Amino acid sequence: MLLNCEIVALCDFHPERREAARKDLGLSEAASYDDFDAFINHGMDAMIVANSFNEHAKYVLKCFERGIHVFCECIANGTMAEGVQLAVAAEKTSSIFFLAENYPQMKFNLEMQRVVKSGTLGKIIYAEGEYNHPVADDDVAFKKEYVFYENHWRNYCPRTYYITHSLGPVMRATGATPVTVSALEAFAPPAEENPSASYVGDRAAIITTMNNDGSIFRVTGCAAFGGHHNAYRICGTEGQIENLRGMGEKVMLRYNHWSKPEGKEEYNLYEPEWNDKDEEMIKNSGHGGGDFITVRMFVDCIKNGVQPEHPFDLHSALAMSSVAILGHRSALAGGKPFAIPDFRKEEDRKLYENDDLSPMYREDGTAPTLPSCSHPDYAPTEEQKQKFRDLLGIK
């Protein structure tokens, strides 16, 4: 029994995927549901909410009503109004909310956190986070696995929205929270001969935030330029640290000659060690070991009866979601800055309590109310969409 936890039930509307999960996880004894209301009444202490990207809040709220702890995939809320609803509900529940953001627990990001905490970089004034995940336009296997119906959220997800893999690690390392956001999106639509039902013609969003400690972040959402990589850089008044693209888990820690601490060189290139009691388990888990560590952190919160630290707590999650949502609106407005609300404040709640705008289809079939792309009129051709339907066997 991993971490003294047992998976007692699972729920998915897609029967083949539900049964594949049972098999992959060895859950022959676990109950299986296609109806969430029956599932939530099965009897459980905590739930992993990992349904469609923009549809988490509805189910988190139901968990809050029952005092069930929540391990919530990213992002927390798909609309600004849902962010208000989560903040209000959190004040009335005993549930622990943990944002399931695993990239801060990659080895090089843990090392950046350690170095920042040591103080040798001085005051942190700038950080970068890039989550770059290009997929070939003609990658049929990816479309079948990850975009398996025409109105799937990936076909409508703006480039700012999938934000937590770039923003989460720099928030964790620095302790800073964004207070304003500005963004621009780079338009480069897929080739017309390939099957596609995507209304997202952008390949990247370049997002800039001013933070509550005066520092500045430059991050992407889920970008698709150049070569695949996850890259992070933390810069202070006395030095900087970054993981190096194309060099695995190595980091470069740099100082000026007048500011290098005792025992360090100006240039320090090395691969950090785990130094963790669960190292073997970590090495065998996904996302560079981050999956196991993130779950362990959640279980520790439950055992200790405490909410998680920044940036895994609810209000950090709401700030990240706001960067995602308002970043896209900034791009649509030519880079106009938007203030990031703090939903602990009543005045900020009133600004957004009725803001249900979304670029994605809702679970109930409600159509998008915002464009998904920096070129608002962009759409796949009828030929592309028909090829996509043919690919998935859609009549």
**Model confidence over 99-146: pLDDT tens digits?**
999 999 999 999 999 999 999 999 999 999 999 999 988 788 888 889
Strand 202-211 relative to strand 267-270: parallel, antiparallel, unpaired? unpaired
Cross-sheet strand order for the sheet of 46-49: 46-49, 69-72, 97-99
Q: From the CB of residue 269, how many other CB atoms can be counted at a distance below 10 Å?
A: 12
Q: Is the peptide bond before 311 cis (omega within 30 degrees of 0)?
A: yes
Running DSSP on this structure, what letter comes out for residue 369? S
Per-residue pLDDT at 394? 79
Per-residue pLDDT at 137? 80
Query: What is the Cα–Cα distance from 311 to 246, expressed in whole angstroms?
Result: 27
- 110 alpha carbon, distance to own chain's centre: 17
Query: What is the Cα–Cα distance from 220 to 132, expressed in whole angstroms?
Result: 8
Residues 6+ apart with CB under 8 A from 350: none
Q: Give 262-305 pLDDT, tens digit per residue.
A: 989 999 999 999 999 999 999 989 999 999 999 999 999 999 99
Residues 77/57, Cβ–Cβ less than 8 Å: yes
Q: Give 205-222 pLDDT, tens digit per residue.
A: 999 999 999 999 999 999
Query: What is the Cα–Cα distance from 310 to 301, expressed in whole angstroms?
Result: 13
Q: Give 328-358 pLDDT, tens digit per residue.
A: 999 999 999 999 999 999 999 999 999 999 9
Query: What is the Cα–Cα distance from 56 to 48, expressed in whole angstroms?
Result: 10
206 SS3 class: strand
324 — phi, psi (to 5°)?
A: -60, -50
Residue-level length of the chain: 395
Per-residue pLDDT at 1? 62
Alpha helices in 41-178 (DSSP H): 57-66, 80-90, 107-118, 140-146, 164-174
Residue 232: name the closest of 180, 186, 288 by CA.
Answer: 288
Per-residue pLDDT at 138? 77
Per-residue pLDDT at 3? 87
Per-residue pLDDT at 140? 81
Query: What is the Cα–Cα distance from 170 to 124, expressed in whole angstroms?
Result: 11
Please give the structure tokens belonging to residue 90. 């959190």
Q: What is the 3 state secondary structure string of 76-101?
A: CCCCHHHHHHHHHHHCCCCCCEEECC
Would you state the torsion angle of the CA atoms of residues 193, 194, 197, 202, taken in this order, to the nearest 10 degrees?
-90
Region 167-181 average pLDDT: 98
Per-residue pLDDT at 260? 94
Please give the structure tokens belonging to residue 207. 């997002």
Region 58-82 average pLDDT: 97
pLDDT surpassing 70 at residue 95: yes
Please give the structure tokens belonging to residue 97. 């909310």
pTM of the model: 0.96
Per-residue pLDDT at 24? 87
Please give the structure tokens belonging to residue 175. 């302790």
Per-residue pLDDT at 145? 87
Per-residue pLDDT at 358? 98
Q: Report the chain's mean pLDDT, rounded to a whole number.
A: 95
Would you state the torsion angle of the CA atoms of residues 61, 66, 72, 74, taken in this order, to the nearest 10 degrees?
0
